[in-house]
Structure 1
Amino acid sequence: MLRGIDLDLPTHTLIRIEGANGTGKSTLLRLLAGIDAPTEGRITGRRARTAYVPERFPAALPFTASGYLVHLGRIHGLRTPEAADRAGSWLARFGAAGHARTPLPELSKGTSQKVAVAQAFLAEPELLILDEAWTGLDTAARDELDRAVAERVAAGATVVFVDHDPRRLAGTADAVFRIEGNTLLAAPGAPATGTGPRIRIEAAGPPGAKLPAGLPGAPEHTPAPDGGVRLTVAAAHSDALLRTLLTAHPPWHIRQVATAPAHVESPGPQRSATDPGDRPTPEAP
C-alpha cells in the first residue's frame, strides 16, 4: 500500500521513478494514468490527453496492428484518415511498418511492444506514462523511443517512466524519485531539479518584450550583465528553448550559448499533483 505520496508533475518535465520489485512503482504509474483510483487522498489537475504504456501489453485483441492504432486514434478524437496516417508514421518510426496488417495475436513480443509504444504517441499526449516501455524493443527502437520521449518533453508534455536499466535516459531526467517503505522519496544523490548537464543561453528581445510563456524546460532566468536575459536549462531542453526564442513574435536575438557551471540544489519538500500547485496524496493497495 502506498502512503503519503506527494508529487508535482510540471509541464516540460521528465521524471524517473525507481524502486525494488514489488514496492509499488506500477501502482503509482496506474494512479497517475487514471487507470486506478486512490482508496484515500486525491489526484488533481488531470491532463486532457494522457497516454500509458503498461508493463505487459494485452496483445490478444481482435485487431491488426494498424487497425488497433486507428481505433485508439478515433477514441482520442482523431478523424480516421489522420489516425491512419499517424499509425503508419509511428509504426515506421519504431521499425514495425511491415507488420501493419498483421493480427495482434500473431506478432512477436518485440513487435507487440512497438505497437504498444506507438499507441502512446498517437494523440500527442500531455502526460505520458511509461512502465518498462523499452523492455523487448530492439536497439534501434529503444533509441527511437528515447528521441520520441525527448520530443514530447520539449513540446510541453510531462513524461513519467520506470525502467530497469539505470542508464536509461541517464542525465536527462528533471527529477528522480524512489519508492521506499511505501512512500516516495527523492532518489539519493539525485536532486529533484535534474541531474544532467545544463546549458546557459544569453538572449535579448525587442525593447519592452517579455519572455514567452511556458518556455521548454522551465529555465532559470536572470538579467544578463549587458542587458537581455540569461537562461539556464537542462541540456535535453536547450534545442527546444532556442527554437521557441527564435520563432517568437517578434523573435529574440541569441547572443551566446554555453555549458553552464555544474550546480547542486537540495531537494525541497515533495508535493503530489499532475500540475504545479495541486497537492493530491494518492493511497492505494
Structure 2
Amino acid sequence: MTANAWNVLSGTGTAATVLASDFPATGRTVAGFGDLVRELGDAAPTVWETAPPRPGREAGMTGDDYLRHWEPGAKSAGPVSAVLGFCVGSVFAAGLAAEIGRRQGKAPRLVLFDPERPDADLLHRHYHELIGGLAPMLSADEIDEARRVGQDTRRAHTAMRPLAEELCELFRKYGEPAFRRTGLDAERGAEVVATFASFLGYLVAASDLDPRQAWADAVAISSATPHSGLNPLPARERSALVAREISFELPHTELLRDTSVARAVSELLA
C-alpha cells in the first residue's frame, strides 16, 4: 500500500477489499466511513479509505492527480468488490471504480452516499459553516463581517480555484484571531487553516472529473438534508443520474452513523 494514500479501517481478511472515498479530517463532526465500519460490526469487510495528500502538497493538483495518488495503493489491495463514496468523494469513487473495472475486467459495485458534484456555491457553503463555528470566539459584528465578505467573494468569482484561494485567505484572516483567543498556539491554528485549504483543493480537483457514466450503474443512499446529494435536483434528473436510490429520513451528518443504513450497506455488499 502506498504510504499516506490509504487508511485501513478494517482488516478482516476477506478475499476482496472495499475501497471508500472521502476526506477524513481530525475533529470532523460529520459521520465518516469509520463510523459505518463500526456499525457494520462483524459484517464489515476489509475496508480501505482514501487519505488526501498532506496539506500543502495538494496545491494545483487536478482530479486525475488525485486518482494517481490513490491508484498504486488500490492496485495493492488485490481484488476490489466495491467502491463507496461519500458526498464529493463519490466523484473520485467513480474514477476509482472505472479504473479498477478496467484492471479487473469486472466493475466493482459502486455505492454512493449523498453523491454530489462540487461547484462554487458548495465552496462558499463550507466557508460559511466554518465561520459559524467561530461564533463563540468572535463578536457578532466580526461574524457578520466575515460572512458579508465571503458573500462578496462568492459573487466575484465563477471559477472555483481562485474562489477557493480567496476563501482560504479569508478563513485565515478571521480564524487566526479566533484561535488566539482560545489559547490555541499559532502552529495548531495554522494546521486548522491548512486542513481547510486542503479540503478546498480536494473539492476543486473533483470538479475536473465527470462521474456520470459510472454513477449511472451506482446505488445512491440519500439523506433527508435538502441541500445535500441528489436532493436539490429535479426529480427527472435525479432518477436518471443513478441506477437506484435508497432514501433515509436522516440528516446528512448522520448518514454513515446509522444502524439502518449499515444494514442496507451490508445487504448491498453481500
Regarding TM over 0.5, the answer is no
For CA contacts below 8 A with separation 6 or more, give which structure has more relative contact order.
1
Q: Which has the higher helix share?
A: 2
TM, length-normalised to structure 1: 0.28
* TM-score normalized with structure 2 length: 0.30
Higher Rg of the two aligned structures: 1
